[in-house]
């Protein structure tokens, strides 16, 4: 036991590990995110998943059951820094931590009741090759690790890389996201409850594209869940 502690201390001295939230050095007993950042997460406090402004924006899609996020995304906050580290510094293991944290924080709210499948929002093939993984799938795997809900990556395909939306207004974003997802198979999905997973919801147009690809399946129910949602549009999130 002492030898193991000594080895960990030496490795930490030679290769210091830093927090994915604040960038400060991690303690020996900390993994990925320091205790301070975990306590300071900007949590979303509205746990009424059916009646919130995000859900209201999709009120003409009756298959949408719940819309939720764990945190609030603002350009420089801890939640945004974690997303940045996950996506652009390829911290795949952070996605699993985020997914597990989402469950641990919200498992008592009823959000996951009756969910049959987790469906991470897919990236285009080109974007996934560039990044090396899909951050939404990494988060979904963390959720599944605790809840045992199967992750489905065989249902939707993203047809092409979108043009960056940072300079678009809302109507242009809606048009840019339309018809971007193709449903690959619907067998066995009738009457199922699918939870769409992503890292950040901004305007919601990406999620809407996925909802529109799925909503024609008879009896389907769709919940939407993200690590964070942005109260204001922020640069380069999707």
Tell me the average pLDDT across 22-36. Answer: 89
Q: What is the pLDDT of residues 48-103, one digit of tens each?
A: 898 888 888 888 999 999 999 999 999 889 999 999 999 988 889 999 999 999 99
Structure tokens at 107: 């498992």
For the cut 50, the answer to whether the pLDDT of residue 2 exceeds it is no
Smallest CA-to-CA distance from 157 within 122, 130, 197, 208 is with 122
Residue 229 and residue 45 in contact, taking contact as beta carbons nearer than 8 Å: no
Write down the pLDDT at residue 8: 52
β-bridge partners, 117: 194
Q: What is the pLDDT of residues 116-138, one digit of tens each?
A: 999 999 999 888 888 889 999 99
Q: According to the CATH classification, is domain 41-230 in 2.60.40.10?
A: no
Backbone angles phi, psi at 200, to 5 degrees: -140, 140
Q: Is the dihedral of CA 75, 81, 84, 87 positive or negative?
A: negative
The pTM (predicted TM-score) of the whole model is: 0.86
Write down the pLDDT at residue 38: 95
Write down the pLDDT at residue 158: 93
DSSP 33-59: S-HHHHHT--B-----SSSSHHHHTTT
- CATH 3.40.50.2020 segments of the chain: 41-230
For the cut 60, the answer to whether the pLDDT of residue 109 exceeds it is yes
Question: How far apart (Å, rounded) are the C-alpha atoms in residues 92 and 73?
Answer: 19
Q: What is the pLDDT of residues 165-217, one digit of tens each?
A: 555 555 555 555 556 899 999 999 999 999 999 999 988 999 999 999 999 99
């Amino acid at each position: 036991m002492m030898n193991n502690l000594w080895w960990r201390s030496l490795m930490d001295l030679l290769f210091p590990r830093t927090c994915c939230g604040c960038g400060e050095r991690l303690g020996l007993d900390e993994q990925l995110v320091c205790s301070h950042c975990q306590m300071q997460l900007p949590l979303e406090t509205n746990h009424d998943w059916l009646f919130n402004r995000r859900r209201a924006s999709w009120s003409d899609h009756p298959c949408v059951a719940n819309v939720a996020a764990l945190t609030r995304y603002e350009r420089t906050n801890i939640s945004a820094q974690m997303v940045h580290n996950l996506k652009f510094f390829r911290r795949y293991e952070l996605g699993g931590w985020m997914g597990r944290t989402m469950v641990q924080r919200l498992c008592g709210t009823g959000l996951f009741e009756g969910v049959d499948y987790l469906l991470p929002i897919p990236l285009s093939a080109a974007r996934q090759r560039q990044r090396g993984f899909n951050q939404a799938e990494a988060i979904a795997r963390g959720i599944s690790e605790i809840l045992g809900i199967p992750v489905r990556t065989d249902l939707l395909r993203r047809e092409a890389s979108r043009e960056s939306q940072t300079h678009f207004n809302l109507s242009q974003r809606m048009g840019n996201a339309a018809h971007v997802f193709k449903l690959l198979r619907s067998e066995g999905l009738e009457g199922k409850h699918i939870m769409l997973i992503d890292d950040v919801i901004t305007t919601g147009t990406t999620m809407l594209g996925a909802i529109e690809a799925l909503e024609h399946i008879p009896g389907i129910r769709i919940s939407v869940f993200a690590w964070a949602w942005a109260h204001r549009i922020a640069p380069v999130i999707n």
